[in-house]
Structure 1
Amino acid sequence: MDRPELALQQLHAFTVLAEELHFGRAAERLGIAQPPLSQQIRRLELKVGHPLFDRRPGRIALTAAGHELLPAARRALDEVAGGLDAARRAGTGTAGRIRIGFAASLALTVLPELLRAYRTRYPGVDMEIREMTTAPQVAALHGQTIDVGLLREPPDGEQGLAVEPLLAEEFVAVLPAAHPLAARRVVPVAALADEPFVLLPRAAGTTVHDRIIDLCRERGFEPRIGQHAVEWQTVSALVEAGLGVSLAPASIRRIRLRGVAYRRIEPDTARTVVGMSWRSDDPNPLVARFLETARAARSGAGADGPESRTRDVLG
């Protein structure tokens, strides 16, 4: 049995001869002499079991078997060519599918800009986007069901995973618009001591939850949590309904509710980190290209943009 590459050569020779219907011209197109061309056609005819060309003095024509084989031969050659091209593009990270996990709050910060930049650079790559909190993203990275995680407070020292920060956000006070403290431009954290709080449960984001609790404790009080919500949008909605106040990453200000006021806080030293994580031994070029895009987007974010007061880009 011929090797696969020889079978492809025979199909290629057959299609060229079928188009030219002249051994001399076909051999010239193929860059070979006429005898090797004739040999390739004979071997293919032996496989088929019937002549593919009607050879008569002064003319050559396809037989019924040749007419039947021609479209199949063209499809086979096209599929191989397409597969080779797809393999080359996948090998360079310009085609294929990348699976990205993201924390819901990142839809308010880096996610839209980053995905847009990646889509612009690599339009041939399919992106599978999955909304997940931090712990499930870490598990999915270990389980190889996602390729990159975009997380708030990515874990340090997680075996087998690499972590890189993208930005750090300050915190803001989230108040009902009619609240007396909403009249201030800057709200002291200590002024919230007697207020009921609306917060994410600790299980939804351990580190950011603990940062908020520590902010309050540093000002001498333990926050009284009246309501829990698993999304920052719900936190804002419950604050608007008058069920309490909150401290939240500054990107929450993109959730524009008429009955909510977002104010800077004092002290404003606490930050929540947004970063990306991936398997440290992953050779997938799609991951490498995504990381490059994220780094370029990070380095291109200046201090004069609309979010300059709500985030510090990490170098």
Structure 2
Amino acid sequence: MDRPELALNQLHAFAVLAEELHFGRAAERLGVAQPPLSQQIRRLEERVGHRLFVRGPGRVALTAAGEELLPAARRALDEVAAGLAAARRVAAGEAGRLRIGFAASLAPTVLPELLRSFRAGRPGVELELRELTTAPQVAALREHAIDVGLMREPPQDPELVVEALWSEGFVAVLPVGHRLAGRRAVPVAELAGESFVLLPRACGPTVHDRIVGVCREAGFEPRVAQRAVEWQTVAALVGAGLGVSLAPAGVRRLRMRGVAYRTITPDTARTGVGLVRRREDRSPLVARFAAEARALAARAGGPPGGAGQA
């Protein structure tokens, strides 16, 4: 089916003249002289193949063809105006859809405040959240399944750009009845010989290796009895008495029954959270979200939000 080739300025001129029914007033509203207005109407009539207006001394009226065209012309102009407004909102980062991957341990800590801050004043933005560990987030970014990721210890990847946001130490995760749970701080060396509950290395190689490194610096190799892909599950298994764990300090906000969180000594090891996006991505929404995350990190005393090479 052939689409009619109608110029928007002709439809606009037609709609204004249909409202005014006076060439002089219509030309004044349009900011043109009467001859150019008459030419636009004539070209539109030639395209339609019928007169749209009856012209008489001191009088202009719509023909039957004009009456039929007017609602469609108004709808077309309204749709174009709405489309332009929507495009401007998307280009300004105020509308559209943003797909966010996030580490589960951020859900009870920084994520709610970040989402509230980002959504304020942006009711037109649709957020799609996916809870993923580090390696699946990287894969989702590369496959364009998410637009931005909040992950622990983002790996080296030439296709991605990382902004360091927060860093934190580690805590011991213990069953409440554990022999060390009554202490304010737990020497890591005293966890030697314990059964550990850890994330699989494939889910987050760097943070996994950092935890193992903390144990090795204390003189032992952790004996892993159970593995779980989310920190909430790690804590739940610890609470069930299946072992102990070392976890990023933010995990202690997971209020799990039967679980005690204790600072460790020495407490020099740190783990970082980064915002990660595709290097070629120029989405205004991603840029706005990154700016909000950067501002939140600055308020919370996190590292400067300069972009780094992943």
Same fold per TM (> 0.5)?
A: yes
The AA in structure 2 aligned to 1:183 is G
Question: 2: distance between equivalents of 1:140 and 1:229?
Answer: 20
| Partner amino acid, structure 1, of 2:241 | G
Structure 1: how far apart are the matches of 2:121 and 2:263?
36
Residues 155 and 206 of structure 2 are in contact (CA less than 8 Å); yes or no, is this contact kept in structure 1?
A: no
Map of 1:185 onto structure 2: 184
Q: Is the 8 A contact 1:170 1:271 kept in 2?
A: yes
State how far apart, in whole Å, the 1-side matches of 2:149 and 2:228 are. 23
The DSSP-based 3-state class of the residue aligned with 1:180 is coil
Instruction: Give the secondary structure class of the aligned counterpart of 1:183.
Output: coil
1:256 is matched with 255
Residue 125 of structure 1 deviates from its aligned partner by: 2.6
Question: What are the residue-to-residue correspondences of 1:86-235 with 2, within 5 Å?
Answer: 86-156=86-156, 158-235=157-234
Query: Structure 2 CA distance, aligned partners of 1:229 and 1:138?
Result: 19
Could you tell me how far apart the structure 2 residues matched to 1:248 and 1:235 are?
Answer: 9
SS in 2 for 1:29: helix
Per the alignment, in what secondary structure is the counterpart of residue 154 of structure 2?
A: coil
Query: What is the alpha-carbon distance in structure 1 between the residues aligned to residue 200 and residue 278 of structure 2?
Result: 28
AA aligned to 1:299 is A
Q: How far has the Cα of 1:50 moved from its partner?
A: 1.6
Distance 1:251 1:106 in 2: 7
Residue in 2 aligned with 1:56?
56
Is the CA contact 2:136–2:203 (under 8 Å) kept in the aligned structure 1? Answer: no
Q: CA deviation at 1:89?
A: 2.6
The one-letter code of the counterpart of 2:176 is A
C-alpha separation between the residues in 1 aligned to 2:174 and 2:144? 41
Residue equivalent to 1:306? none
The answer to whether the Cα contact below 8 Å between 1:198 and 1:244 also exists between their aligned partners in 2 is yes
Q: What is aligned with 1:309?
A: none
Alpha-carbon deviation of 1:15?
0.6
CA distance in 2: counterparts of 1:145 and 1:297, whole angstroms:
25
| Structure 2 CA distance for aligned equivalents of residues 13 and 193 of structure 1 | 83
1:14-33 paired onto structure 2 within 5 Å: 14-33=14-33
SS class of match (2:242) = coil
Match of 1:213, as an amino acid?
Answer: V
CA contact (8 A) 1:166 1:314 kept: yes
Aligned twin of 2:277: 278
Cα pair 1:106 1:152 within 8 Å, conserved? no
Residue by residue, what CA displacement relative to the aligned partner does 1:90-110 show, whole Å, maximum 9, x if unpaired?
A: 333233222222222222332
Provide the rounded CA distance (Å) in 2 between the counterparts of 1:119 and 1:205: 29
C-alpha distance in 1 between matches for 2:88 and 2:221:
58
**Equivalent in the alignment of 2:308:** none
Write out per-residue CA displacement over residues 25-63 of structure 1, whole angstroms, 9 at most, x where no aligned residue: 111111112222122111111111122122333432222
Report the residue type matching 1:125 in the other structure: V
Match of 1:310 in 2: none
Shift of 1:155: 1.3
Looking at structure 2, the residues matched to 204 and 284 of structure 1 have their Cα atoms a distance apart, in angstroms, of 27
Q: For 2:138 and 2:88, locate their aligned partners in 1 and report how far apart those are by CA, in whole Å.
A: 30
Q: Is the 8 A contact 1:27 1:34 kept in 2?
A: yes
Structure 1 residue 121, shift from structure 2 partner: 4.8
Q: For each residue in 1:137-158, what CA deviation from the matched residue of structure 2 results, as whole angstroms up to 9, or x when unmatched?
A: 22332333322221110113x2
Q: TM-score, normalised by structure 2?
A: 0.90
Check conservation: 1:155, 1:163, Cα contact below 8 A.
no
Query: How many angstroms does 1:196 deviate by?
Result: 1.3
Aligned to 2:67: 67
**Cα distance between partner residues in 2 of 1:91 and 1:244:** 51
- Does residue 314 (structure 1) correspond to residue 303 (structure 2)? The answer is yes
Alignment RMSD (CA, Å):
1.9
Query: How far is 1:69 from its partner?
Result: 1.0
Q: Select between 260-269 and 51-60 the one with higher mean Cα deviation.
A: 51-60
More displaced stretch, 176-185 vs 117-126: 117-126
Do 1:189 and 1:219's aligned partners in 2 also have CA atoms closer than 8 Å? yes
The amino acid that maps onto 2:213 is D
Counterpart of 1:220, as a letter, is G
Q: Distance in 2 between matches of 1:138 and 1:201?
A: 16
- 2:307 corresponds in structure 1 to none
